């Protein structure tokens, strides 16, 4: 899904992708590969290929946008939904700050690095 926000003028060359966490394999509480009891007639392998294909296309689309000189903001579903969603005002502030910053890329929520530990 691509959303040109009303406060994102085309001249700022910014594109905002709003991604569903399941369909786009976000590493968060909303994503896990379907187990066979919930695959609706599709095998786990089908889902794995489907979802990995989605993720691969996302990365390619982001890369294409950047090659064409567009700035990219990736806004994940989990920032907007559920008990751990971010405050709406914070999301809006992060988006507007990013639009004004000239930075080339932003993800909301900012990716956590839970698995990186300093020894
Ligand atoms: Zn998510």
Residue ranges of the domains in the chain? 2-108
pTM of the model: 0.80
Taking the CA atoms of 3, 5, 9 and 15 in sequence, report the sign of the dihedral they define: negative
How far, in Å, is the centroid of ligand 1 from the Cα of 30? 6
**91-118 burial by CB neighbour count: b if 16+ within 10 A, else e?**
beebbeebbeeeeeebebbeeeeeeeee
**pLDDT value for 54:** 96
**pLDDT value for 102:** 85
pLDDT band (50, 70, 90) for residue 12: confident
Q: Which fold has domain 2-108?
A: Endonuclease; Chain A (3.40.960)
How far, in Å, is the centroid of ligand 1 from the Cα of 21? 4
How far, in Å, is the centroid of ligand 1 from the Cα of 68? 27
**Cα distances (Å, whole numbers) of residue 34 to 15, 24, 79:** 30, 13, 22
User: What is the secondary structure of 9-52 as a DSSP string?
Assistant: -GGG-EEEEEE-TTTTT-SSTT--PPPGGGSTT--HHHHHHHHH
């Amino acid at each position: 899904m691509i959303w040109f926000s009303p406060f994102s003028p085309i001249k700022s060359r910014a594109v905002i992708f709003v991604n569903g966490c399941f369909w786009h394999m976000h590493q968060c509480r909303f994503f896990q590969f379907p187990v066979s009891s919930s695959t609706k007639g599709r095998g786990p392998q089908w889902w794995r290929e489907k979802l990995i294909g989605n993720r691969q296309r996302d990365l390619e689309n982001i890369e294409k946008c950047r090659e064409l000189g567009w700035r990219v903001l990736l806004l994940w579903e989990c920032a907007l939904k559920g008990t751990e969603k971010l405050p709406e005002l914070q999301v809006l502030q992060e988006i507007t700050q990013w639009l004004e910053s000239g930075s080339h890329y932003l993800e909301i929520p900012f990716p956590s690095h839970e698995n990186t530990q300093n020894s």
